[in-house]
Amino acid sequence: MNREAIDFFLENFEFLIASRYDDYISGCSLRRNIYHDKFGYLSGDNIEDEWDVFDDKAVHFIIRHKKSQTPIGYFRIVTPVEGKGLPIQHLLENNFDDQRDPSTFSVDTICELSRFSLLTSTLYQKRGFDFLETTAERECFRHARDALWIGMGSVASLLERYHGFALIEPRFARLIKGSHVRFERVGSFQDLYGQRAPYYINYHELITSLPEASLYMMEAIKARIAPKYYQEFLELSSDATFSWRNAFLSKALE
């Protein structure tokens, strides 16, 4: 990936943090497509079942094709919920290495990276999508995976959450090794929707490991998401009464 390829990707795909109902729904739809429809990980019959109590304390990051507005990538970064901590602490209590237990870090510096969802080239072809109109677009589409990882670092830096945890399955761990993102396993595998283990990533170490082109993309993503983050998301998250779950219900009553 070079700067020319990155610039072309940025011309055709956009990055956003969900602060509107429709954007949040598009992220839920993509992650449901990946986790529920493809792998059967989540339960429930409706899109509303994608919500959990941690969604309201999360930043929802979405990559989408500009022209068609089709989401192609999604993740959420969860900050600790009062009295509950991070989801991974609830699921894997007493299953962390002593030096990498979330409870040993300041609560203001930790986060959880979860529900990574990516429309891959293989899935694009299998599902018969056709929103990529040119060969050049289809070629640059392969950079979506890198954009998702780099977007993770971009959001973490905006949040100033420099210690990240994730619950990762072996297949996903192998996929990550193909990038410059370095997660460290910090606990044993447990049976949670299949075998999964806790992993840790340090933002500052991530920055030092990324090549120049990736750092260039990170700064470009930050420049695109920062204004909306500061203007809209922080205002939304400061509203103690707000809930994406309530937004589902309100929409259903319209």
Measured between alpha carbons, how far is 56 from 151 in angstroms, rounded to an integer? Answer: 20
Measured between alpha carbons, how far is 138 from 120 in angstroms, rounded to an integer? Answer: 11
Half-sphere exposure of 140 (CA within 13 A, CB side): 19
In a domain, 247, yes or no: no
In a domain, 254, yes or no: no
In a domain, 253, yes or no: no
Q: Which domain holds residue 7?
A: 3-242
In a domain, 252, yes or no: no
The percent of residues above 90 in pLDDT, for the chain, comes to 40
The 10s digit of each residue's pLDDT in 40-98 is: 565 566 777 778 888 888 899 999 999 999 999 999 999 887 767 898 988 887 789 88
Number of domains within the chain: 1
The 10s digit of each residue's pLDDT in 189-200 is: 988 777 889 999
Rounded to the nearest 5 degrees, what angle is found at the Cα of 10, between the Cα atoms of 6 and 16? 130
CATH no. for residue 177? 3.40.630.30
In a domain, 79, yes or no: yes
In the prediction, which pLDDT does 19 show?
Answer: 85
Q: Whole-model pTM?
A: 0.89
Query: Quick one: average pLDDT of 209-238?
Result: 86
In a domain, 96, yes or no: yes
